[in-house]
Structure 1
Amino acid sequence: MNSRGLLGMMMALLLLAGLHGTALAKDGKQGNKGAKISFRETEHDFGTIAEDDGAVSHTFTFKNEGKVPIVVQSVSTSCGCTASDWTKEPVLPGKEGKITARFNPLGRPHQFTKSLTVRSNGDPASVILFIRGNVTPHVKTPSEIYFYRIGAFGTKGSYHSMDKITDKGKHATELEVHNFSEKKELISLVDYPPYMSVKPETLKVRGGETGSFKIIIDGEKVPSYDYQSCKVTVKHGETSRALHYAFTLLPDFSHIKDKDKAAKAYFPHRNVDLGQRKKGKTIKYDFVVKNIGKAPLKILRAKTSCGCMLVDLDEKEIRPGGETTLHMVFNTEGYAGRTNKTIKLILNDPSQPMVTLGVTVVLE
């Protein structure tokens, strides 16, 4: 290579090196001008706090380690129980800003973990902060527990559910009563249905203490299946108030050892759409009920969802392999638009003792 060519090559290399150095310098200046956000901590554990003590708060501190001011644009929280506040003015390089998280434990017992997402013009553009802890629940006072008052006494409300019971045997529940006075008082249960008994009928309770009655329902004496509701009158002195007890009575299947040999219902159509019909007219439809089991199938009750419907069965007991027809008549007077009605059946089928048939119609 001659001297002229060698000189040209060296000049080209120097030019490339100069360009590369200029680019590095520019990149360095650009990086120095950026905002950099740095938090001392991104998590805080409140430990154990009491629900009754009210809201708690913690302040997260961040520093601007960049070369331009940081502006916190928004702080979003993971739920409405967490509030936040933050430094609104620009945070200058080398200075600090704050993000304050507040958590309200009311109605939120036990462990919690909540997050706050901080968005800014800094690097990184978003930071997620976490607060956590464990809330010990509010301890209810007697006034909160026994809020339904009968004179000096209180009970846990006026409505009491016994859920599902069977038509065999006796089923018991307790009724707690709290005496809010400072002396012994008498309280009695009177006027309850014949299938119910109470022990004792009259209870003596010391002041500030709680006593209990035993409520017993004899399933064999309940007059009909499905949902039942009855009233019990509670009396203290001259004050009398009603309590309501509700339950669903179903057949007892404890005597069936082999359910494969029991009755089993099959419905070709459980829910039917009758399309459009003229309102104010009577609609009829026949449901078929088949017994595909190995014992007689008994339809113990057929109950409609309104007085506008009537049902009639050809047979209430179906032999194995047999079937019957349930005739439905729906008086649509007073109804318009899309209308849904139901028929609830109580069966001696242990696999499905309660079956609901549905009818949908558009009345125009």
Structure 2
Amino acid sequence: MSAKRIILLIIAAFAAFSASAQARLVFEPDTWDFGTIRESDGRVSHTFTGVNRGDKPLVILDVVTSCGCTVPEFSRQPVTPGGKTQITVTYDPMNRPGTFTKELWVYSNERKKVASITVQGNVTPREKSLEELYPVDAGGGLRLSTTLSAFSYIYQGRQVQGSIGYANASDRTVRLSLRPQDESGLLQVDAPQRIAPGQRGEINLSYLIPAGTPRYGTLRDALEVAVDGRSNGTTIVAHGIGVDARPADATQKSPRAEFSENILKFGPVKHTGPRRKLSFTLSNTGDAPLIVRAVEGEGHIATTLAPGRTVAPGDSFRAEVLLDPATQDFGVLTEHLMVVTNDPVRPMRRLRITAIIEE
């Protein structure tokens, strides 16, 4: 027998011995179904029993789960070959209605996964309180489900609608008024003027950008909520981004906007230093002219990219970002530059600009 074959046999025998010597923890069953449980009844628990089917003692080092709703309890006492150990798993159904399946991984003192166990079931939701359904206290007994209605993209000529729930938690009729603070001129609001005791309903909000008079970029409206003529500062905010309508014909030629950078870093900059500039490239990889519709920043930087800039198919435009450190506060500066184009796939892109303003 050759020396090489002898070595291979020795390695195989050693591997087989190592495998047989490894501790092996077996749970039968390894899955427990709680069935249908009620959220209002609180936590449920089940104890799994495992047997060490290996040839040497083991210690459970940890039992890992991906959710804080599932908590294991176990002993770190050594489990001899043939010996038993238990793991109690507690599941908290609070605010988790519906079906669930949670797997837990058991690790030994050798830092190896030696077993897994699973709990599952279905949670019947509890009836939520008025305060949970309408968490915003708008004053005077009026409660709201939220104060934000975000519309994402608002396409020219296409109406978008949203709603905010309300409930009168008082024992009297209240008068509701919404006082405009910031106005885009395009928001339509449908809200009751009087709300009876216990009445629930919705404040309906909608945007419509007329196709003949397009608006691009951020649309934002803020409405101060007043109940019986008084306000506690609660404000409803609606916002979205005006973009071109998507073409009805998917085969129609269209532009594609590509940016060379997503993040521009000035790094450390002296407050008394000169103005600084960085650049990025906007390219059109589509087959129709790319038009910049809106460019919005937060006031810390300026850019040479402006609305109306057209980039031909296959062409590009190199834009500059300008920073005047003397006009900035000391410390970390972060600016977000929003660019809206007529790219039908990704009409809005954001670039992040950072700097550290030093003395």
2:206 pairs with one of 196, 216, 224: 216
Q: Could you list the per-position Cα deviations for residues 314-348 of structure 1 after superposition, in whole angstroms to 9, with x for gaps in the alignment? A: 88343745665534322234588997755332112
| Equivalent residues of 1:75, 1:116 under 8 A apart | no
Does residue 1:225 correspond to 2:216, yes or no?
A: yes
Give the corresponding residue for 1:345: 339
Residues 48, 282 of structure 1: CA spacing in aligned structure 2 closer, same or farther, 3 A cutoff?
same
Deviation at 1:144, TM superposition (A): 0.4
| Equivalent residues of 1:113, 1:133 under 8 A apart | no
Deviation at 1:234, TM superposition (A): 2.2
Give the corresponding residue for 1:13: none
Distance 1:244 1:319 in 2: 35
Q: Could you list the per-position Cα deviations for residues 247-274 of structure 1 after superposition, in whole angstroms to 9, with x for gaps in the alignment? A: 22222234667531x444455x335867
Question: Within 5 A, what are the aligned runs for 1:268-279?
Answer: 269-270=260-261, 279=270
Q: Could you list the per-position Cα deviations for residues 177-205 of structure 1 after superposition, in whole angstroms to 9, with x for gaps in the alignment? A: 112134544423332623222224x3444
Distance 2:175 2:306 in 1: 54
TM-score by length of 2: 0.67
Question: Within 5 A, what are the aligned runs for 1:1-364?
Answer: 42-60=30-48, 73-74=59-60, 76-79=62-65, 80=68, 81-85=70-74, 99-109=87-97, 110-115=99-104, 117=106, 129-150=117-138, 151-191=140-180, 193=183, 194-200=185-191, 202-220=192-210, 225-240=216-231, 241-254=234-247, 258-260=251-253, 262-265=254-257, 269-270=260-261, 279=270, 280-289=273-282, 295-304=288-297, 306-313=298-305, 316-318=308-310, 320=312, 324=317, 326-333=319-326, 334=328, 342-357=336-351
Q: Could you list the per-position Cα deviations for residues 31-56 of structure 1 after superposition, in whole angstroms to 9, with x for gaps in the alignment? A: xxxxx999775543322222332222
Distance 1:205 1:275 in 2: 54
Distance 1:61 1:265 in 2: 59
Q: Which amino acid aligns with 1:215?
A: L
Q: Which amino acid aligns with 1:216?
A: S
Q: Quote the RMSD (CA, aligned, Å).
A: 4.6
Q: Could you list the per-position Cα deviations for residues 262-320 of structure 1 after superposition, in whole angstroms to 9, with x for gaps in the alignment? A: 444455x335867877533311345454556565432221223x423112358834374
Q: Tell me, what secondary structure is at the counterpart of 1:239?
A: coil
Q: Tell me, what secondary structure is at the counterpart of 2:198?
A: coil
Unaligned runs of 5+ in 2: 1-23
Distance 1:314 1:45 in 2: 61
Q: Tell me, what secondary structure is at the counterpart of 1:207?
A: coil
Distance 1:313 1:63 in 2: 69
Q: Which segment drifts farther, 222-231 or 168-177? A: 222-231
TM-score by length of 1: 0.67
Residues 78, 48 of structure 1: CA spacing in aligned structure 2 closer, same or farther, 3 A cutoff?
farther
Give the corresponding residue for 1:5: none
Distance 1:311 1:342 in 2: 12
Deviation at 1:206, TM superposition (A): 3.7
Distance 1:185 1:40 in 2: 62
Q: Which amino acid aligns with 1:78?
A: V
Distance 1:342 1:179 in 2: 40
Deviation at 1:98, TM superposition (A): 5.5
Residues 42, 277 of structure 1: CA spacing in aligned structure 2 closer, same or farther, 3 A cutoff?
closer
Q: Tell me, what secondary structure is at the counterpart of 2:40?
A: helix
Deviation at 1:360, TM superposition (A): 6.6
Distance 2:122 2:44 in 1: 12
Residues 318, 85 of structure 1: CA spacing in aligned structure 2 closer, same or farther, 3 A cutoff?
closer
Q: Tell me, what secondary structure is at the counterpart of 2:197?
A: coil
Residues 215, 88 of structure 1: CA spacing in aligned structure 2 closer, same or farther, 3 A cutoff?
same
Q: Tell me, what secondary structure is at the counterpart of 1:144?
A: helix
Highest Rg: 1 or 2?
1
Distance 1:347 1:162 in 2: 18
